[in-house]
Structure 1
Amino acid sequence: MPMNHRILFGSYPIPRFANVANHNFLVWTDEEGRPLFEINGGASNPDGTFNYAAAFSRLTAVQTDYARRDPRLYPEFYVRPTSRTVTLFEAGYREVAARWRAGVEMAERIAAAGLRYSFLTQNSNSVASTVARSMELSVPSAALGILRAPGGRRRLRPVDIHGSRHARSMNAHMS
């Protein structure tokens, strides 16, 4: 009997930080457990490529489509052997797709907000927590420790996302 589709919360131990600190992310798997999409937060390099820990960069959030793979632009952490996951939601395709769509919309707002990346506060972990909550899913407390996932307890607030310089300039042009 096949499984339902799932939304998983993943953690990848970062080798650069002695595998203590983690990079958190979200993944949508099909009924066979194969990854379809993945949402990652992190920093963007000046050339637009993804970097989950680049200092002095802009915070971004991207969706990886496993049907069109390009790890330089769209990272793939779910398929790495040291990544761990926990199921946040399991249901049929339509229910998972609706929640995932809400998460993608939040990721797009985060990417457009022009926020500054910070290893300790605004990073991949705060993006994963914020996106999961936008899907109305609870983030596992074990994935949010201060050493394990710096920034994981921080939810990027609407004022962070909508009150950014970019959002203020957009509002000014609309008035």
Structure 2
Amino acid sequence: MLPRGRRSVTVAAFAAALLSVPAAAVAFTLIYALGGTTDVAIGKVATAMTGVHVLIGLGEAAITALTVGALIAARPDLVYGARRMRIARESRGFEARGIRHWGVLARSAGALFIRSYERGERVHLAMVSRGYAGAMPVIDEVTASRAPWSYALALPFAALVVCLPGWIL
């Protein structure tokens, strides 16, 4: 059920974020229909809520996909920890088939959260033991002069000069 590859995990995160925001707007609209006491028609509320939240969902989906993609690149063990736990459950004969197995899955998710939190705490303690004091040490104060900034901005400026006539004409 979980996506297998790096790209499919990112796409699944994008889709989940994209669908969850409008779904929450639809849920609100249903709750409003049950108990709303204003004179606004339910159709107007549904249209306004869904339309705006689809746009918000697109932004949230992009942010989520970029975050998950960066997390997979930096710490794939955090993302794929659930897969390893699923394999361990299946090797012991467990197969989630219905609502009665949700407790096991919830405990697995909690254990995964605690495990990742403990790993972060171990990393922090290792950093403190090596002298980390909350900020990166400054070895040499380095500032960029005009020359490096000019070199760095040359290519984007050239691209702008090339593309600008195409956009205007």
Higher strand share: 1
Higher helix share: 2
The TM-score bracket by the shorter chain reads under 0.3
TM-score (norm 2): 0.27
Higher CA-based Rg: 2
TM-score (norm 1): 0.26
> Of the two structures, which has the highest relative contact order with CA contacts closer than 8 Å and spacing of 6 or more?
1
